[in-house]
Amino acid sequence: MAFENLSDKLQNVFKNLRSKGRLTEADVKAALKEVKMALLEADVNFKVVKQFIKAVQERAIGQDVMNGLNPGQMVIKIVNEEMVALMGNETTEIALKPGNEITIIMMVGLQGAGKTTTTAKLAGLFKKKGRKPLLAACDIYRPAAIQQLHINGEKQGVEVFSMGDKNKPVDIAKAAVEHASKNGYNTLIIDTAGRLHVDESMMEELQELKKNIQIDQCILVVDAMTGQDAVNVSETFNEKIGIDGVILTKLDGDTRGGAALSIRSVTGRPILYVGMGEKLTDLEQFYPDRMASRILGMGDVLTLIDKVSAEVDEEKAKALEQKMKKAEFGFDDYLESMAQMKKMGGLSSILSMLPGVGSQMKQIEEAMDEKKMAQTEGIILSMTPKERSNPSILNPSRKRRIAQGAGVDISEVNRLVKQFEQMRKVMKSMPKNMGGFPGLGGSK
Ligand code: GDP
C-alpha cells in the first residue's frame, strides 16, 4: 500500500498521546517532533514541513479535546485538516470550454514521467465525459513516442494527429489546431517532448509552443516516486513556462507521499489527477481529503472523528460531564448519554477497525446492543423521577415494581443498578473530561 511507512510512523506518534482534557504544549510538541521526522523521512519538502508543523502546533496547543475523542484523535483531526489544506482543500477540475469551442491542453514533463501514457489516459477520461478529444504528437525526438501515442490513442478510440519527426513541434501543433477545428474536435491534447533532465532547449521549445498556440491549460506530468525531485521539477517548470496543474504519476508505487504533500504548497498549483498504474484506466481525480486519509493511513479513524464531531451535541455532553464530576449523575443522565450514543449508531463496526480499540470492543458492543439499550431504557423509564435522580432509594420492593413495569426479571434491574453505581464510582475518580458514554468508560 502506498505511504505505509509514513502512516505507520504517524500512527505510533498518535498512540502515544494520552494526556487528558486539554492538549498540553509539551504533549503536542513531543508528538509534532515525531510527525516532523516522519514527514521529512517521507521526503516532504523541508519548508513545507516547517510551515505545516507550525500551523498544527498553533492550532493544537491548549485546544480542548472534543468529547468522544481522545487526545490522540484530536491531534489526528488537526493534522488531517492541515494536510487537506496543504493539498489545496478542494478538488480542482481541468477547466474546459463549453460546446464546440476548442480547449487546448499542453502536456509537459521529463522523459519517463509518464507523459505519453497520461495523455492517452486523459483523452479516455474526456471521451467518457462526452468531449471530443484529439491527440497531437509533438515529441519529435523520440520516434517511439509518436508510435506509442498512436497505439494508446487507438486503444482509447481517440484520433492521434501526427506529422512524423521532420517538422517543428510548433508547426505540428498549429496544424493540429486546424485539424481539430475543421473536424469538430473540442479538446486538443498536445504531447510534447521531455528530456531526462530539465534543460534549456526543452524549455525554449515549450515557451515557443506557448507563445504561438493559444494554450488554455499547461499540465505538468511528474513521477511521484522521485519525491523531492518531482517537487523541484514542478517549481522549475512553473517558473519557466507557467503551469496550471500537475498530474502525479506512479502513485501506486510511491511509498512515501512526499511529492503529493509538497507540490501544491511549493508551486501554488493544484494536483489534478493521479496515475495509479500502467493501464489506461488507471487515472484518478485527486481529492485532497482522501489523499490525507491515505497518507495518515487512518481512513477509519477519520470517519469516526467526523461522525463524533457531527453527531455529538457538545453542549449536552459538557453538561453531562459537569454532573459526572460532581457525582450528580442520575438515571436521567444515563438515558441522555445513551441517546447520544444512539445518535452515533452503527459505530461499533467502525470502532472495531480502530487500532487499540480491540480490548474495549466487548464492552462497547454490549453497550451498543440495540436490544440491551431498549431494555435499559425500559427499566429507567419505569422508575419514578425521584428514583432516577436519587438511585440510593432503590430498595428491593421498588426494584420489584420497576422490574414488573419494564417486563423484565428483577435480576436485570439489579444488574443495571449495579452497573450504574460502578460507573458513577469510576466517574467520580476520573480527573477531567473523560467522555460520557456508558460502556465506553471515557477516553483511553
Ligand atoms: P513519458 O516519457 O513521460 O512519455 O513516459 P511514458 O508515458 O512512456 O511512461 C513511462 C513508463 O511509466 C511507462 O512504462 C508507463 O507504463 C509507466 N507509467 C506511466 N504512468 C504510470 C502510473 O501511474 N503508474 C505506473 N505504475 N506506471 C506508470
Query: What CATH number does residue 277 fall under?
Result: 3.40.50.300
Query: Going by CA atoms, what residue is nearest to atom 28 of ligand 1?
Result: 278
Kindly give the number of the ligand 1 atom that is closest to the alpha carbon of 221: 3
CA of 271 to the centre of ligand 1 (A): 17
Q: What integer pLDDT is reported at residue 306 of this predicted model?
A: 64
Mean pLDDT on 327-356: 59
Measured distance CA(276)–CA(1) in Å, rounded? 11
For residue 59, being part of any structural domain is answered with: yes
Mean pLDDT on 300-325: 63
Same domain, yes or no: 144 and 42:
no
CA of 121 to the centre of ligand 1 (A): 11
Domain extent at residue 109 = 103-286
Q: What is the band of 109 on the pLDDT scale with cuts at 50, 70, 90? A: very high
Examine the fold and report which residue of 60, 90, 120 is the final residue of a domain before the chain moves on: 90
Q: What integer pLDDT is reported at residue 298 of this predicted model?
A: 62
CATH classification at residue 79: 1.20.120.140
Q: Are 374 and 409 in contact (CB under 8 A)?
A: no
Examine the fold and report which residue of 27, 57, 90 is the final residue of a domain before the chain moves on: 90
Is the per-residue pLDDT at 192 higher than 80? Answer: yes
Same domain, yes or no: 239 and 279:
yes
Ligand 1 site-directed mutation target among 117, 121, 272, most atoms within 8 Å of CB: 117
192 has binding-site annotation: yes
Same domain, yes or no: 231 and 132:
yes
**If 0-12 CB within 10 Å is exposed, 13-18 middle and 19+ buried, where does residue 93 land?**
exposed
Same domain, yes or no: 54 and 121:
no
Of the listed ranges 246-260, 325-339, 423-437, the least confidently predicted one is 423-437
Same domain, yes or no: 123 and 39:
no
Prediction ipTM score? 0.99
CATH classification at residue 407: 1.10.260.30
- List pocket residues of ligand 1, CB cut-off 6 Å: 109, 111-117, 194, 249-250, 252-253, 275-278, 282
Query: What are the beta bridge partners of residue 283?
Result: 275
103 has binding-site annotation: no
91 has binding-site annotation: no
310 has binding-site annotation: no
Is the per-residue pLDDT at 355 higher than 50? Answer: no
For residue 437, being part of any structural domain is answered with: no
441 has binding-site annotation: no
Is the per-residue pLDDT at 436 higher than 60? Answer: no
| Cα-only R_g, the chain | 30
Same domain, yes or no: 242 and 198:
yes
Q: What integer pLDDT is reported at residue 332 of this predicted model?
A: 82
Q: What is the band of 435 on the pLDDT scale with cuts at 50, 70, 90? A: very low
Q: Express each pLDDT in 247-281 by its tens digit.
A: 999 998 887 889 999 999 999 999 999 999 999 99
For residue 257, being part of any structural domain is answered with: yes
Measured distance CA(76)–CA(301) in Å, rounded? 9
Q: What integer pLDDT is reported at residue 320 of this predicted model?
A: 65
Residues 6+ apart with CB under 8 A from 304: 73, 347, 350, 351, 354
Stronger pLDDT, 441 or 77, i.e. the higher one: 77
Kindly give the number of the ligand 1 atom that is closest to the alpha carbon of 121: 20
Same domain, yes or no: 377 and 237:
no
Same domain, yes or no: 376 and 282:
no
Q: What integer pLDDT is reported at residue 205 of this predicted model?
A: 94
Kindly give the number of the ligand 1 atom that is closest to the alpha carbon of 142: 2
For residue 438, being part of any structural domain is answered with: no
Q: What is the band of 39 on the pLDDT scale with cuts at 50, 70, 90? A: confident
Same domain, yes or no: 77 and 118:
no
CA of 117 to the centre of ligand 1 (A): 6
Joined together, the cell numbers standing for residue 272 give 489534478
Q: Express each pLDDT in 224-255 by its tens digit.
A: 999 999 999 999 999 999 999 999 999 988 87
CA of 392 to the centre of ligand 1 (A): 73
Measured distance CA(103)–CA(121) in Å, rounded? 17
249 has binding-site annotation: yes
Same domain, yes or no: 187 and 135:
yes
Q: What is the band of 19 on the pLDDT scale with cuts at 50, 70, 90? A: low
250 has binding-site annotation: yes
For residue 439, being part of any structural domain is answered with: no
442 has binding-site annotation: no
Domains contained in the chain, number? 3
In 133-270, DSSP assigns E strands to 133-137, 159-161, 187-191, 217-223, 245-249
Is the per-residue pLDDT at 138 higher than 70? Answer: yes
CA of 118 to the centre of ligand 1 (A): 7
For residue 139, being part of any structural domain is answered with: yes
Examine the fold and report which residue of 90, 119, 153 is the final residue of a domain before the chain moves on: 90
180 has binding-site annotation: no
For residue 73, being part of any structural domain is answered with: yes
Query: Going by CA atoms, what residue is nearest to atom 6 of ligand 1?
Result: 114
CA of 279 to the centre of ligand 1 (A): 9
**If 0-12 CB within 10 Å is exposed, 13-18 middle and 19+ buried, where does residue 162 land?**
buried
Same domain, yes or no: 280 and 367:
no
Kindly give the number of the ligand 1 atom that is closest to the alpha carbon of 115: 3
CA of 47 to the centre of ligand 1 (A): 29
Same domain, yes or no: 279 and 320:
no
Query: Going by CA atoms, what residue is nearest to atom 27 of ligand 1?
Result: 278
Stronger pLDDT, 313 or 37, i.e. the higher one: 37
CA of 112 to the centre of ligand 1 (A): 6
Ligand 1 site-directed mutation target among 198, 278, 279, most atoms within 8 Å of CB: 278
Is the per-residue pLDDT at 441 higher than 60? Answer: no
Q: What integer pLDDT is reported at residue 185 of this predicted model?
A: 97
Kindly give the number of the ligand 1 atom that is closest to the alpha carbon of 277: 24
For residue 303, being part of any structural domain is answered with: no
Kindly give the number of the ligand 1 atom that is closest to the alpha carbon of 119: 7
Mean pLDDT on 180-187: 96
Q: What integer pLDDT is reported at residue 214 of this predicted model?
A: 96
Q: What is the band of 102 on the pLDDT scale with cuts at 50, 70, 90? A: very high
Q: Express each pLDDT in 43-83 by its tens digit.
A: 889 999 999 999 999 988 878 777 767 777 788 888 889 99
